[in-house]
Amino acid sequence: MDETSEDRADALFHALSDRTRRDILRRVLSGEHSVTALAASYDMSFAAVQKHVAVLERAGLLTKRRNGREQLASGDVEAVRSVASMLDELEDVWRGRVARIDALLTEEN
């Protein structure tokens, strides 16, 4: 429940809350793509796609690497896993609830 880890969670879930960004993330997880190549896939301006890429980058979901005049974006699977582990923690909270209910039911009385 760190303050910065909540900031990080905010950024990660926010980045994932837009379908265009999720689609971009799928593409860059499957392989490197330049920003221009990504932009060609969507019915919006280059600048809009570039901003989506920047949101994903700030959240740590992708990294960029320069190659000549291109900027090649690549998805970071570790960041995806870190989101999954946040959800696992939520499931653990729920399991605790079930365990307490079980304890009540099996209690002698």
Query: Which residues of the shown chain bind its own copies in the complex (CB under 8 A)?
Result: 6, 9-10, 13-14, 16-19, 22, 25-26, 29-31, 75, 77, 80-81, 83-84, 87-88, 90-91, 93-94, 96-97, 100
Task: Name which of its own copies, DNA, none residue 16 binds, using a CB cut-off of 5 to 8 Å depending on partner kind.
Answer: its own copies
By CB under 7 A, name the one of 44, 86, 99, 101 that touches DNA: 44
36, 47 contact by CB (below 8 A)? no
| Amino acid identity for residue 58 in this structure | R
| Separation CA 15–CA 83 (nearest Å) | 11
Does 79 interact with DNA (rule: CB under 7 A)?
A: no
| Separation CA 63–CA 26 (nearest Å) | 14
Rg (CA), the chain: 19
By CB under 7 A, name the one of 25, 52, 59, 62 that touches DNA: 52
